[in-house]
Amino acid sequence: MSLAFGTEVALAAWGTIVGLDLVSAPQAMLSRPLVAGAIAGVIAQDVEAGLRVGVVLELFALDVLPIGAVRYPDFGPATVAAVALAANAPWEMSLGVSAALALVLAVLGGWAMQLVRRANARAIQRHAAALAAGEARAIRGLQYAALLRDAGRSLGLTVLGLVVAAWAASYLRPDRLTALTLTLVALGAGVAAAVGGAVRGAGHGRRLQWLGAGLAVGTLAALLR
Amino acid sequence: MTGRWRALLRLYAVQGSWNYERMLGVGMGYAAEPLLHDLATADPVRHTEATVRSAEFFNCNPNLAGLALGATARAEYLGAPGEQVSRLRTALCSPLGALGDQLFWAGVVPVLVGLALIGVALGAGLWPVIGFVVLYNAARFGVAVWSLRTGLRSGPEVARAIAISWLPRWASGIGPYAAFVVGVAVPLAAGWSFSHFPRRGIVGALVVAAVGLGLARWWGRGFTTVRFALAAMAAAVLLRLMVA
């Protein structure tokens, strides 16, 4: 790993942006692992690592429908931290450990999001009188404070991830076979997540047939490559 | 009515204060403020009532929130009774949620993510990722502009405007394409990731995938692939330690 301080700061800023993007604003799909990972790779000057980490975590993200009140993992800041760990190392060796770090952080991020939502609700209760009086200033204040809370959550999550990544790069050195095994397990679980999510989303009708056709075409193309 | 562009911009943060009490309510109130501005001079009492209503409970897919925002703002300017505006808002929650989730989360996003994965797997580097972000945001901006315009034009008649628009057809029609594209993308992305590994390793990874799929089928709800992945990785490390 060994990233410059400026790079770490840029990654923390990027992690904050993608954490905010998941729900709060602007939902521009920057928080998708593929996008978050690719740009983090550009920042860390290792695009290959960014894309490799982004693709494997995107397979997990395909299993998630980020709808309303459902608790879902936050893959954005987690992907940024995982890319920081995987950067400038042979990706076959580092992908498994990076994916493990990202999955733990993603779950933590989803849990932290619940805390932010509860804090938003408490703030609304505190301003109930102002809202009942139709004070536009109170609405603006609640909105900005909530955005700030989510930005704090995203920044905290990214910084935690970067610190753990720096620690893991220094002290966690699995032997070659263990590292390769972890990478393969992460990839296998990612495939299970993507296929499972796609089958569940397809239901039983025409969509399932189209999914089957797609899987057949994709498998054939992968074998021919 | 002024402030349409400001309202459109604020719609991008409509979920900014998401909570379990009013869900998108406060975000909708925030987005409604520029639209209701002219009402403050024309009818201050109505403006206050409209502001209160604008921040009440609301939930739908954020990409279609403009339909409800525009329709309720229009209804306020038309002088519709307050209860009618509140009913209109409540009635729009479920259909806009269902249509938006079908169109975006089960349609546009999987199609574009799938295409980006295919592009990366075929060796196009960063370009598919850039293409994904640009295309998604172009589509989203177009839908946001259409939603707000349609809502503002239709007011209380917005349900009829939605029913005869492209939205229901596209929302129900895009699903099979999304399923096909994701179906093509997953094996290609997996193949790209496996390309540096020996056959024995790939077979092992596919066994992990099969076990994960089987457990998901058997366990049903409560089983998450993230938990499975972490458990499988912990098991792999333990096994390696035991062998060592």
pLDDT in single tens digits along all 244 residues of chain B: 679 999 999 999 999 999 999 999 999 999 999 999 999 999 999 999 999 999 999 999 999 999 999 999 999 999 999 999 999 999 999 999 999 999 999 999 999 999 999 999 999 999 999 999 999 999 999 999 999 999 999 999 999 999 999 999 999 999 999 999 999 999 999 999 999 899 999 999 999 999 999 998 888 767 788 999 999 999 999 998 888 7
Cα–Cα distance between A156 and A189 in angstroms, integer?
27
pLDDT in tens, A136-176: 999 999 999 999 999 999 999 999 999 999 999 999 888 99
| pLDDT at res. A68 | 64
Does B91 share its domain with B29? yes
Contacts with B, A 18-77, CB within 8 Å: 23-30, 32, 34-35, 38, 42, 47, 51-52, 54-56, 58-60, 62-63, 65-69, 73
| pLDDT at res. B216 | 85
| Residue B114 covered by a domain | yes
> Do the Cβ atoms of B240 and A181 come within 8 Å?
yes
To the nearest 10°, the Cα dihedral for B240, A178, A36, B205? Answer: -70
Q: Identify all chain A residues contacting B126, using CB atoms and an 8 Å cutoff.
A: 38, 42, 47, 51
| Angle, vertex CA B109, rays to CA B172 and CA B146, nearest 5 | 65
> Do the Cβ atoms of B225 and A193 come within 8 Å?
yes
The string over B51-84, giving b where at least 16 C-beta atoms fall within 10 Å of a residue's C-beta and e elsewhere, is bbbbbbebbbbbbbbbbbbbbbbbbbbeebeeee
Contacts with B, A 76-135, CB within 8 Å: 92, 96, 99-100, 103-104, 106-107, 117-118, 120-121, 124-125, 131-135
With CA atoms as reference, report the closest residue to A85 among A20, A11, A22. A11
User: Based on the structure, what is the number of domains in chain B?
Assistant: 2
Rg (CA), chain B: 24
Does B213 share its domain with B99? no
Number of residue pairs across A and B with CB atoms under 8 Å? 308
Substitution target from B226, B230, B237, B243 for chain A, most A beta carbons within 10 A: B226
Q: Identify all chain A residues contacting B125, using CB atoms and an 8 Å cutoff.
A: 47, 51
CB A78 within 8 A of CB A18: no
Does B147 share its domain with B204? no
Does B110 share its domain with B27? yes
Does B9 share its domain with B66? yes
| Residue B18 covered by a domain | yes
Which residue shows structure tokens 């930005």?
A151
> Do the Cβ atoms of B48 and A96 come within 8 Å?
no
| Residue B10 covered by a domain | yes
Does B167 share its domain with B204? no
Which residue shows structure tokens 């459902």?
A70
From B199, which residue of chain A is nearest by alpha-carbon distance? A184
Does B160 share its domain with B205? no
Does B146 share its domain with B218? no
| Ranges of chain A whose pLDDT falls below 50 | none
| Residue B127 covered by a domain | yes
Which residue shows structure tokens 């699903």?
B175
| Of the residues B178, B210, B232, the one at which a domain ends | B178
CB B70 within 8 A of CB B152: yes
Which residue shows structure tokens 């989203």?
B140
| Residue B188 covered by a domain | no
Cα–Cα distance between A117 and A69 in angstroms, integer?
10
From B202, which residue of chain A is nearest by alpha-carbon distance? A184
With CA atoms as reference, report the closest residue to A32 among B135, B177, B148, B38. B135
Cα–Cα distance between B20 and A9 in angstroms, integer?
33
Rounded to the nearest angstrom, the gap between the alpha carbon of residue A123 and the centroid of all alpha carbons in its chain is 27
CB B15 within 8 A of CB B27: yes
| pLDDT at res. B186 | 98
Cα–Cα distance between B169 and B180 in angstroms, integer?
18
Does B173 share its domain with B210? no
Does B76 share its domain with B138? yes
Rg (CA), chain A: 20
B169: domain range? 4-178
CB A56 within 8 A of CB A95: yes
Start-to-end CA distance of chain A, whole Å, equals 31
| Residue B88 covered by a domain | yes
Cα–Cα distance between B239 and B244 in angstroms, integer?
8
| Residue B68 covered by a domain | yes
Six token digits for residue A114 = 């619940």
| pLDDT at res. B217 | 82
3-state SS record for chain A: CCCCHHHHHHHHHHHHHHHHHHCCCCCCCCCCHHHHHHHHHHHCCCHHHHHHHHHHHHHHHCCCCCCCCCCCCCHHHHHHHHHHHHCCCCHHHHHHHHHHHHHHHHHHHHHHHHHHHHHHHHHHHHCHHHHHCCCHHHHHHHHHHHHHHHHHHHHHHHHHHHHHHHHHHHHCCCCHHHHHHHHHHHHHHHHHHHHHHHHHHHCCCHHHHHHHHHHHHHHHHHHHC
Return all residues near B241 (Cβ < 8 A) that are at least 6 apart.
none
Does B128 share its domain with B31? yes
Cα–Cα distance between B226 and B220 in angstroms, integer?
14
Q: Provide the residue count of chain B.
A: 244
Does B103 share its domain with B140? yes
